[in-house]
Structure 1
């Protein structure tokens, strides 16, 4: 009887340790996904040919706590500007003047080289030249003829930036870092 009692207590202790360990692992994984790195999927064509629908990315959610977004960063946007999560490229930072002339983008009066762009760049409904205010970013998709971006939505609030796309994990032939 004494041995049976010990066996039951030992078994219960083992189960409790497993439940606590698994609970801690789940909490840590959820915190990691919400605040550090997460997996995202591309759902539209606005970033072609850089990114295409169905690709899976690793999103860095913490580095923008240490520094601000930079020109050329591919960011994930989740805010009131759109009902959808968006993936776009940062073109203009606070204080920058973005202009579009003859299908070309000018930043602070100088034409920027954008090897990644697909299609013709037109101004859209935003009046250009456009000066980016503090707390805002001007973003555009790489597929300029098929992108809902700052040219239509207006500037994106810095607080709407969820993170930076840094790594492509699917499909395997495209596995690797994202570069400009």
Structure 2
């Protein structure tokens, strides 16, 4: 009996060590959970939602419409969830609440059709080769690139790939 008990404990230890050997590197280098605290991305994300971000070191190319986690000196090192609107090298402007990319109005299918467009006004701004322009989907309640300017590739911490909570709203992005 004691030998069987020790064997079972040994199996549990091996299982825990193997799980840690898989989960810890994934958590440190690949995936990161984030909790949404603010309303800047409503209705896409609500306060309390939990998302999984693919860390920027492995996320690959960032494209317009991607939802990203950003943070840096502009945010007092807090993390914000925002949508990529402008890509490196583009000229972004806002007139009468309409976002323009290189002079053409941007179609924003991610915004609800009845959304109040409070984008405001912004003169043309050219993004450098490592800058992105990010905005919240809830334009009225979003502190984003309109306030703090473009973000650099280094300030993009992760690309949101999955909402895991609440359970009835699980979906990939």
TM-score by length of 1: 0.81
What residue in structure 1 maps to residue 134 of structure 2? 139
The runs of 5 or more residues in structure 1 that have no matched partner are 1-6
Aligned pairs (5 A) from 1:19-168: 19=13, 21-61=15-55, 65=58, 67-83=60-76, 84-117=78-111, 118-119=115-116, 120-123=118-121, 128-168=123-163
Look at both structures and tell me which one has the larger radius of gyration over its CA atoms. 1
How many equivalent pairs are there? 168
**Distance in 2 separating the partners of 1:16 and 1:47:** 47
**Distance in 1 separating the partners of 2:92 and 2:127:** 8
Q: C-alpha displacement at 1:34, in angstroms?
A: 1.9
Q: C-alpha displacement at 1:17, in angstroms?
A: 6.5
**Distance in 1 separating the partners of 2:79 and 2:157:** 9
The runs of 5 or more residues in structure 2 that have no matched partner are none
- After superposition, the Cα gap between the structure-2 partners of 1:112 and 1:31, relative to the gap in structure 1 and judged at 3 Å, is same
Q: C-alpha displacement at 1:137, in angstroms?
A: 0.8
SS, match of residue 154 in structure 2 = helix
Runs of 4+ in 1 over 6 A off after TM superposition: 10-14
**Distance in 2 separating the partners of 1:110 and 1:23:** 55
TM-score by length of 2: 0.84
Output the aligned Cα RMSD: 2.4
